[in-house]
Amino acid sequence: MAFQIAGVELESRFFLGTARYPSPAVLEQAIAASGAQVVTVGLRRQLAAGGTPNDLQLIRDSGVHVLPNTAGCHTAREAVNIARMARELYETNWIKLEVIGDEYTLQPDPFELLAAAKELVKDGFEVFPYCTDDLVACQRLLDAGCRVLMPWGAPIGSGQGLLNPTALRTLRARLPGVPLVVDAGIGSPKDAVQAMELGYDAVLLNSAVALADDPVTMARAFRLAIESGRLAYEAGVMAKQEMAVPTTPVTGRPFVL
């Protein structure tokens, strides 16, 4: 199940967020249970909490790739500044680019997002843009130099699952060679299975694990769901039929196997 994203080969297709866990110990155990090789960290959240991230060493010790994000930014300029700070702090040119345009839905601002992406790509970043499932907006981000896209399944933290699987299916069909990661809105393992059966390369989630009664067990549940969904996609999920189709051949006369 190995695949490449931004020039790095990964075995796990599970990207895990690190916010809102009950304790650093639970976060550490959840990362291990998930099998994730990429975790996201929010610099603005950490700075608001009072300085440098106290879980940075824990994350580094887990051996994962750190994907800083610009969560909480509302303009391209703000996102670019946070990205540059994150590069210095986390020593990586990877950045999950978030530029929010609506406070209620936390929907990305496609114009500010594109402007920030263009500047960061020129500045040597590997940009992972959090975007909507709009095909044209996604194509513009690719034109700007992004090599990975992270379309939402539903609003951040809503747990509503994939609200528009048709749009996500269209993205996958029209952008066959682009790594696509469903990001935001995943609420249960069945949502992750659905995303992977659509042919998406990975799933990123946070709240569904961090806020579970047992985050460690939930992390393992999502790990198995993502693996099974990918295997189902590779094996070929049977097409739905409008009518019943007999599974036992009928020859018109009895026979014994």
- Annotated binding residues, as ranges? 157, 184-185, 206-207
Known active-site residue 96 = yes
Look-up: residue for tokens 């969904």?
A: 229
Of 10, 3, 55, 36, the residue nearest 209 (C-alpha): 36
Other beta carbons within 10 angstroms of residue 250's beta carbon come to: 7
Of 54, 86, 88, the residue nearest 68 (C-alpha): 86
Other beta carbons within 10 angstroms of residue 41's beta carbon come to: 22
Would you say 185 and 158 are in contact if contact means Cβ atoms under 8 Å apart?
yes
Binding residues for 1-deoxy-D-xylulose 5-phosphate are 157, 184-185, 206-207
The DSSP 8-state label assigned to residue 123 in this structure reads T
**Candidate list 96, 118, 190, 240, residue with the active-site label:** 96
Pairing of strands 14-17, 202-205: parallel
Would you say 70 and 95 are in contact if contact means Cβ atoms under 8 Å apart?
yes
Other beta carbons within 10 angstroms of residue 139's beta carbon come to: 15
Q: Give the residue numbers annotated as catalytic, written as ranges.
A: 96
